[in-house]
Amino acid sequence: MQSRYWALLAAVLLAPALSAVQASSHREAPFVTKYPQVDATDFYAFMSYEPGREDYVTLIANYIPLQAAYGGPNYFPLDSEALYEIHIDNDGDSVENLTFQFRFSDTLPADGVIPIPVGGEMVTSVLRNIGVISAADESGLNHQESYTLTVVTGDRRSGPAASVINAADGAVSFRKPFDYSGQKTFGGPGNYEPYARSFIHDINVPGCEAPGRVFVGQRNEAFKLALGEVFDLVNLVPIEGDSAPGAGDGGGFPSGITQDPARNTLAQNNVTSLALEIHKDCLTGGEDVIGAWTSASLRQGNVLNPEPTFNTPEVGGGAWSQVSRLGAPLVNELVIGYDMKDRFNSSHPSNDGQFLTFITNPALPAILNLLFLDGVNTLAGASFTDLAPGNFPRQDLVTAFLTGFTGVNQFANVTPGEMLRLNTMITPTPRADQQSLGLAAGDTAGFPNGRRPGDDSVDIALRVVMGVLCHDLPLGTNGDPLNLGLCDPADAPTGNQPFTDGAPISGADLNNSFPYLLTPYPGSPVGAPLPTPID
């Protein structure tokens, strides 16, 4: 009877915490599920590790979660009524100093939708694309997407704004490639990536002497997660096998989870990336650290056209209202209370004090303790009384999520606020040498010093909430153990254990050049091979 009570209590507690965890930030709050076109999925900010581009910062904001590659006939256009933004704080007050704004537009061919002769009549095509598409010939495409890019200095709504210019032709409008509907549409396998890369634009950013780059288009989902098992009340032991207490002597967790790429249930899913590469000198202020986050906003008022056309299915008006926000991964999913997730999405980093209790007194470690205390003790032959850290308030989490780390990515004068913080003076680690656990593995160029696509943010987040920052990390001279002084090892009895979801990722899984994320998975043929990295 008691075991049934605990199982029921675990289900009640865990259901709201996990019902929003569809990958890093996919469908993470109830309201944003109604608007997938403006749902941010992942945000990356890192020093470019493409050879020869080490002085540049790459910013990637992914939108539209869980794209099934075969999702025709319309596929995944961005919202022409929305405002997509990437914000930069360069003085530590958790307020934007620079904002890059993307606005999208949809157009039909100049002569109208491609007609087809049918029984003596010319009938417009019923599909978005008809005919093979390439970088040299898009005449078979009925629906094209373009965008403008604007940089705003100071307040994102009232600061002075200037257009970013296409360095090739001086235009202020940029094209976006058609999604990877399938191999036949692009003339066979291997043709989509050259087509997509023709939409990487060199740009001139007002106030910046160094030219940058921009790309907006579909990419393969870089985030990896054992999604099904996580949703099934964490139907796995979230500690790697044979590497818990007793590791190295044949002990540990013989029934713990093994690392298996097949656990990644997102392998055939795509996302839409808004990617920028800007020279670091054009982003920093008086310090070398920047804070960054992405957001998407809609007009407060929206009126549906009762007789919609392609150009005017709806009309929006009123002030912009933020509906999506993302800085560090998994914060809204695993830290913010279920009833406050929509509030977090609409909030600004400077107002994050309202969420402080969720960080200083987090629920997830208590849930994991409830689910796995007995199992961990049995598997490890241990006698833990509590798996969760007990150092309340959790200053280690305040540092990780709200302030950054002294000497790594913290501003000299910092206002706590949730965002990615990146030290632009830390040399990027080449792809082949990157450690997927980032800072926790001694790789100071990785998460939470910014975030690279190859950083295993699920494993890092699990280990951070369970107290890894209370234990020695390989951050001393020559990688010697160093304690950050945020808490004591005794505060986190399992903080030095290899918590994991068992779905591995590394820098080697990604491309070695901008925009880094892989070629999208094709909508056809069925069973097409997964995309592979490009050097």
pLDDT category at 2 given cuts 50, 70, 90 is: very low
Tell me whether strands 161-163 and 144-153 are parallel, antiparallel or unpaired: antiparallel
CB-based contact 274:235 (threshold 8 Å): no
pLDDT in tens, 248-289: 333 445 567 788 888 888 889 999 999 999 999 999 999 999
* The pLDDT of residue 324: 96
Angle in degrees, CA 258, 259, 261, rounded to 5: 135
Question: Exposure string (b/e) for 268-297, b if CB count within 10 Å is 16 or more?
Answer: bbbbbbbbbbbbbebbbeebebbbbbbbbb
3-state secondary structure 377-409: HHHHCCCCCCCCCCCCCCHHHHHHHHHCCCCCC
Among the ranges given (47-61, 129-143, 182-196), the one the predictor scored with the smallest mean pLDDT: 129-143
What is this structure's pTM? 0.92
* The pLDDT of residue 247: 36
Q: Where do we find the tokens 């095509």? A: 125
Tell me whether strands 289-304 and 82-89 are parallel, antiparallel or unpaired: antiparallel
Mean pLDDT on 71-95: 96
Q: Where do we find the tokens 């606005």? A: 103
Among the ranges given (56-70, 97-111, 230-244, 385-399), the one the predictor scored with the smallest mean pLDDT: 230-244
CB-based contact 421:289 (threshold 8 Å): yes
What rounded mean pLDDT belongs to the chain?
A: 89
* The pLDDT of residue 15: 36
* The pLDDT of residue 155: 98
Distance CA 96, CA 347 (A): 13
Distance CA 212, CA 203 (A): 5
pLDDT category at 81 given cuts 50, 70, 90 is: very high
Distance CA 195, CA 178 (A): 9
pLDDT category at 172 given cuts 50, 70, 90 is: very high
More confident residue, 265 or 306: 306
pLDDT category at 30 given cuts 50, 70, 90 is: low
* The pLDDT of residue 440: 87
Amino acid identity at 58: T
Helix H or strand E encompassing 368: helix 364-380
Mean pLDDT on 141-157: 97
3-state secondary structure 229-245: HHHCCCCCCCEECCCCC
Distance CA 523, CA 268 (A): 9
Among the ranges given (30-44, 89-103, 122-136, 153-167), the one the predictor scored with the smallest mean pLDDT: 30-44
CB-based contact 310:108 (threshold 8 Å): yes
Q: In sequence order, what are the residues at sequence separation of 6 or more whose Cβ sits closer than 8 angstroms to the Cβ of residue 485?
A: none
Distance CA 277, CA 56 (A): 6
- For the chain, the first-to-last Cα distance in angstroms comes to 58
Nearest 10 degrees: Cα torsion 236, 242, 243, 246: 130
* The pLDDT of residue 382: 79
**Cα R_g (the chain), whole angstroms:** 24
Among the ranges given (160-174, 197-211, 324-338, 393-407), the one the predictor scored with the smallest mean pLDDT: 324-338
- At residue 123, what are phi and psi to the nearest 5 degrees? -110, 130
pLDDT in tens, 109-126: 888 888 999 999 999 988
Beta bridge partners of 203: 166, 212
Mean pLDDT on 230-250: 60
pLDDT category at 246 given cuts 50, 70, 90 is: very low
The fraction of the chain above a pLDDT of 90, given in percent, is: 71
pLDDT category at 233 given cuts 50, 70, 90 is: low
pLDDT in tens, 348-374: 999 999 999 999 999 999 988 988 888
* The pLDDT of residue 479: 85
Distance CA 140, CA 247 (A): 59
Query: Hey, what are 403's tokens?
Result: 């302030």
The residue ranges of DSSP E strands in 406-486, in sequence order, are 420-423
Q: How far is CA 33 from CA 40, 64, 65, 96, in A?
A: 11, 10, 10, 26
